[in-house]
Structure formats: C-alpha cells, structure tokens
Structure 1
Amino acid sequence: MLDILFRSETEGGHEQVVLCQDRDSGLRAVIAIHSTALGPALGGTRFHAYSGESRPEAAALRDALNLARGMSYKNALAGLAHGGGKAVIIGDPAQDKSEELLLAYGRFVDSLGGRYVTACDVGTYVGDMDVVARTCRWTTGRSPENGGAGDSSVLTAFGVFQGMRAASEYRWGTADLAGRRVAVAGVGKVGHLLVDHLVEAGAEVFVTDVRPEAVERVRTAHPDVVAVSDAEELIRVPDLDVYAPCALGGALSDTTVPVLTASVVCGAANNQLAHPGIGKDLAARGVLYAPDYVVNSGGVIQVADELRGFDFARAKKQATRIHDTTLEIFRLAEREDVPPVTAADRIAEQRMAAGR
C-alpha cells in the first residue's frame, strides 16, 4: 500500500499521512492530508469497521487517501481557505467508540498543530466532536452549546438545492423548480431536508430509503410526496426531470445509467460515480451531472465558518454561491467539450496551483 502514497499528483501526491494507535483505548486511525496549498486541511472523521475487507487497515488507508483528495477539490471549489484532509478510525462505532478513544484521537489531531482540522463524517456525530474538542483545538462540527455550528446537514441540503437550481437554469432556462419531477434516493439527515426545499419550491417529489421510518417521516411532513419501493424502481419513474442520490456512493453505475429517466442528476451523496468513465456515459446520454463534491459542499462551508465564530447567515450566504459555481462548471464543460466532472476538476486544480 505504500506505493499509493508516492504516486503522481492525480492519483496520490498526499503531503502527509499519519497512522495513529493508542493501545489503552483501542484506537487505530489514519489521518491523511492531501494538500495545504489553500490553507489548513479540513475534512471529517469517518468511523468504520471495514469488516467485509480481508485487510481492514489497507482499506482504511485507501479510503482516507481518496477522501482527503476529494476534500481538496471540494474545499477549493467552495472558495474556502482550506486544503483537503480526512481521517478514518477503524472499528465498529456501535461497539468500539468510547470517550477514552475519542480523547486519544483528539490528541493525535492536536499534535499536527493545525495542519488538519477535523469534523463529523460517517459514524461520527456532533456529540463526538464535543468530546474530541476537549483534547484538540482544531475541531469543528461541535454543538452550539460548545461554541460550534451543530448539524451540518442543514447547509448541505441547502447547497444541493442551489446546485439543482443551477442545473435547472442551465438545462431549462429557469432556476424555478416548480412542477419538476424530482426523485430523492435516501431521505436521511440530508435527504429529508432537501425534500423540504423541493416541496416548498413546488416540485413533484418521489422518495425512497432502505429505512421505512425515514420515508414515513417525510410523508408525514409532506403527504403529497410519493413513496417508491427501492432505488432501482426510483430511477425508472417515468418522465423524471431530476434524480438526487442522497444515500451511499456508487449510485451511478453501468447498471443504473442506461435506465435512468431523469435528464439531470444532482444529489448529496459522496462519490456517486461508480468509476471515472460514468461521467462520460452520462454526457453521452445527454444527462447533465452536477458533480457531487461541488453541490454537497454546504456542510464543509458550515464547519469552516465555525473556525471564525459561527454565523449562520454568513455561512448560508457563502453556500448560496454553490449555484454560481455549478453554473460556471456547466459552461466550462460546454466550452471545452468535456463532462462537468472534468471541468470541475480543472477549476479546482487551477485554484490549488494558484495557492501554491
């Protein structure tokens, strides 16, 4: 796995990777810093067991490296003075997470002296960041009671909605989503808030989730929302305008893209493309894809603002700019005849190069 660390800029090129172990608490973690060209690396802490992997440590390292690189691009496109970093704690959060472990993890992050700023990710929550912050000053995503911004899902959903408005403006000549048929796959922390925005905008909304209670919560709040049995059925709903993957990654694959009825894809899930070629496949079918790491950056905008003394209005104003950034990407993609994801990468790389 060490060869990954020293690959070219486009594959690896990480500045620093830290392996953390605390025997007393059972902590095993990887902290990956991809770039500090624009400022201290900022990215969340994932807590995951990798139980299906033959080599969990190798899988965690690979995950941390890929996620850290993605954060460099996300932060650059969000206009933040931050590079990209990510951390992975290896273990089952339901069984292995403890106060002692989180405090030990905080000490490791703090030892980096501010080169990496952490926050929540899969398997970690606001309460966890409150604990980490007791031993690490470079912690965001804390509760309002502890000087933090709280749940970053609020601005994540808002940012996706802004990206969707931009896609609508580019595709149909108006940012107004009234009457558009929008399918939301996954109505958890972010997805159900996105539904709120869509219903308020007058869209016709279809939803699905692996958890029936999540769907029921949405339909209780919005009885006109249509529940669909699963994601496979959702992408086939006739005459969709927009498909919004808001659950796990890899939703856009060789299997799903050919049967997708929507002409726009814009959702909150990370790593939506199952492999790099999917971006070209979507473009070939005439499907407009809003890169996930552009439109879902509202959350990182929120936690970054926390470092300045959180001001929700200020953070929301910056998240509103996701609309303009998304439009810029679509227009560049058209001028250079490349998929939007390629155009987004080029803009981010230009900004990072300028930062260096």
Structure 2
Amino acid sequence: MKNCVVLGVGLIGQQFIRMLDGHPDFDLEAIVASSESEGKSLQSKWALPSFDVPENFRSMKLINYNSLDLDSIDIVFSALPASKAVQIEKDLSEKGIKIFSNASAYRYHKDIPILIPEINSHHLKVVKNQEDYLENNGFIITNSNCTVSGLSIFINEIQKISTIKNIFISSYQAISGAGFKGLKEIPRDRVVPYISHEEEKIEIEAKKILGHLNESKSEIISNESFNLLANCARVPVIDGHLEALTVEFKEYSKLETIKTSINSLENPVKGLPTAPDNHLVIIEGIDRPNTSLDLYIPKNHRSSGMGVAIGRLRITDNYLRCYLLVHNTIRGGAGGSILNAELALKEGLL
C-alpha cells in the first residue's frame, strides 16, 4: 500500500476521497484543507452531489498544509486551484513527493505529461527527465481538462481509421465543472455561452495529449496535424459534459468501419483498479448518449464513470458527426488522476 494525501476538499477533492475509499493500492492518510477548516470533520464539509460521505473517512479531521508530515507520504492527489497549485505542487515535488494533479498549473510544461493511460502511457517516459525526479525522485503528472479527457480518447481512435483535417466541437458543460461555487451560484434556468479559458484549454491540451516525445524523451511535442476549434457553454445540468463533434477527414470513411473499430476496442490498461474494461462505448438511440442514462459507464464498479459514451454517429461526405458524453468530475477529474497513479505504480515510478 502507498500512503497518499488529498489536497483540497472542494468538489474534485471530495470525488478523490470517495474514489480512494477501499482502494487496493492507495491508503488515504490525510486530507488537507484551508486553515478555516482545520480540525473539522470531513462529514461537516461533505457536499458531493449523488454520493454520501464514505463511512471510513466520515470522522477524519481535516489538517492544514503546514501540519502535513511529509515523511509518511508517498504520493499526493492535488485538487487545488491552479493559483495555489503552482507553488504548493512544486514545493512538494522538490521534496521528493509524487504529485498527481487535477490542476492546470503545470499542464503546459513540455516535460510534464497530461496523462490519459489508455492513449498516451508512453508520455510517462518524460517524468524521468523532470528536474525534481533527477534530484530526489519527485515529479508532477497532470490529468487533462474535463472536456478534453473524453474528446482525446475519441480522437485517438478515429485518427487510426482516417486522416483528420479539422475538428469542430461545441460543448455543453455541467455546472459541477465550476466546482461547489458553480452548484451554488450558476442559475438553473439558463445556458451561458461562455466559460473562461475553456476553449483555449481544449484546443491546446488535446494536441499535447495526442503528441509524441522528442528523441531524448525529455519533452512532449504537440500534434499539429489537424485543426481544432471549440465553442463552450455552461448548461443547467449537475454532472456530465456533452460534446457535439464534427470531424472532417481528408478522405471518406465508412460509418460501419468506424463503429466496428470502436466496438472492437479493449482498454490497454484493463486490470488497473480504476480502468473500465471498455473506455469508449457506442450507445445506440436517437436521444443518446444523455446525462440521465449514460453518465456512469460501467455500472456498479470502481471504474463507474470512467467510460466515455459516444452516440448519434453519422457520415456525410468526409464529415463525421456525433455526440460524446464524459463524466467531468470522474473521468475528467479525480478518476483520471487516480488511474494515472495506478499506471505509474505499475510502471515502477512509485
């Protein structure tokens, strides 16, 4: 067992805590919160939609960052806002701690992977060239923006079938994507056609995730072989990001070829505790996928919410149109980071 700590008790922090309950490899030792919450029980702060506070952690007392005993910690799961993560994550990495971060603070550094184990596990190789790893075995690994996680999994598969020229995405993003503040403050009776910096994140991160390593395996080079243009809106749904995609191929591809390819997929990291057997699943039906029925794939498993649903696939000339659904706080949040840590453990980095 590896001893771990969760930084933050916001929405993603609480999703981390829920998903670490009973984990076969990681033992939650401490939960770090603000000084105002120090000494309070986890139960007193619990507000995660759809899930009760884990019984094993209900009475656990929250601690301040300055009270953290680094000698007893192997890894840290960070749910900090980027403004705080930029200093704290670096400090911990310099002290030899392994960081698995949901924050965006270090996603754009060329020697720090935005990891999605199913599609770019080879990006782990850059970790051994991070300065902190070379000095004391500390490192930072990030997961992607929540919308990008499902999008990148889909692009990775269809680019094997036909060369992609352009990708156009319109996302309809749940209010939980804005954290507890979003749940409290975003009106439930409107759609807002703007999310700060979201479109830029999608366009940059997907290309890095789908990129390749340089010759020395010290940097990740973004994939610039296709154009990606995004529009993002906030919608009055609690969980789940729905994405309308139009993909322009350079050559015509048969719809049945695409469906057969997706249906035959098997997760390359199948067997890791948080990995679904099928990471990309076609859902048939004119009104699918939707957030009421298709958000938790697979059902009743530790990996529930890690599967990405795709539906309404249509081909017109060289254009593929479809809808994609991803759970923003599980696959696109805490679950993604936990799966990253499971892969790092398997590859001997922990």
TM-score grouping bracket, smaller chain normalisation: 0.3 to 0.5
TM-score, normalised relative to structure 2? 0.35
1 or 2, which has the higher helix percentage? Answer: 1
TM-score, normalised relative to structure 1? 0.35
